[in-house]
Amino acid sequence: MKSGLEVAVNEPNRVKTESKWKKGIKKTWPLHLLILPATIIAVVFHYFPILGLVMAFQDYKPWLGFMNSEWVGFKHFEALFMFDESVQVIWNTLIISVLKIVCGLFVPIVISLLLNEVRKSGIKRGIQTLVYLPHFLSWVILGGILIDLLSVKGGLVNRMLVDWFNIQPIFFLGDGDWFRFVIVVSDIWKEFGFAMIIYLAAIAGVNPSLYEAAEVDGASRLQQTINVTLPTMLPIIVVVATLQLGNILNAGFDQIFNLYNPLVYSKGDVIDTFVYRSAMLKGDFSFATAVGLFKSIISFVLIVVSYRLAYRFGNYRIF
């Protein structure tokens, strides 16, 4: 119980705080009204569907609903590790996502270093624009282009292999190993231009006096890049690399969904496409929900770990 003296002392502070809060609301209510539609959309499409996670612990039947479907506990989670198909899907996801992360980190760094050596600003800006463009195209469009280019019959790539190198046509989208190669290379081609923005910004922040000192010491352009540019870029490289850990189970649903087919399920099927087929095509909603929940939990843990690593090694933090 607070004494009368404490109440008397705290009352003016409380009134003053409430007055400031009301004045603040009067000034900022248009901004709150502006974000209201986005808040409603986020609640409806991101938070409300969380209630559907109960299907992972039920033998869910749409005609029975959540309330009347039979509860089966962790049955579907156990099945996730019992079926060879689901285990293979997890391995496919890890392999494809790790290749994307490693190559997607290395290629933008190399290209940004090479682009930094271009002295003519017009050429430099032209190259930047060209490599940025694929990022803004959807995988629906790019998927159709790749299917035409890589077609066994009449595809431009296979015609070049036959006419120029006398190599038999390659079934790029029908062979599992080649499919993984296409997935990784096409993803890098689409995204490396946009990823370069971060590294070009880091390079632009390098103190010019460091290059001048290195040049006075007789360092070549390559030596300046290795001993000045790369060490300066290292903190942002560490941050980007650690933050990518949270995406290790995201192999790219849009890309793979638009390119894969039953011939490459053994090498190209990933968790997201497996969940889609299990739920939407087979009607096994409970198992698909269990797989999706498993992925979400692992991704959440990896995101937390990646942020801690980014803070420890790159001094990067959001909050």
Give the per-residue pLDDT at 16.
55
What is the enclosing helix (H) or strand (E) of 70? Answer: strand 70-71
Dist CA 25 CA 35 (whole Å)? 14
Quick one: pLDDT at residue 129? 83
Q: What is the pLDDT of residue 40?
A: 92
Q: What is the pLDDT of residue 299?
A: 82
Give phi and psi for 64, each to the nearest 5: -100, -30
The dihedral built from the CA positions of residue 72, 62, 81 and 294, taken in this order, carries a sign that is negative
* CATH numeric code, 84-314: 1.10.3720.10
Per-residue pLDDT tens, the chain, 319 aa: give them: 445 545 454 555 555 555 666 666 777 778 888 888 989 998 998 888 888 888 888 888 877 887 888 888 888 888 877 777 888 888 998 899 989 988 888 899 888 888 888 888 788 888 888 888 888 889 999 989 999 998 888 888 888 888 888 888 888 888 888 999 999 999 999 988 888 888 888 888 888 888 888 888 888 888 888 888 888 888 888 888 877 877 788 888 889 999 988 888 888 888 888 888 888 888 888 888 888 888 888 888 888 887 777 777 766 665 5
pLDDT at residue 184 in the model: 92
| DSSP letters spanning 257-282 | HHH--GGGHHHH--HHHHHHIIIIIS
Q: Domain extents for the chain?
A: 16-71, 84-314
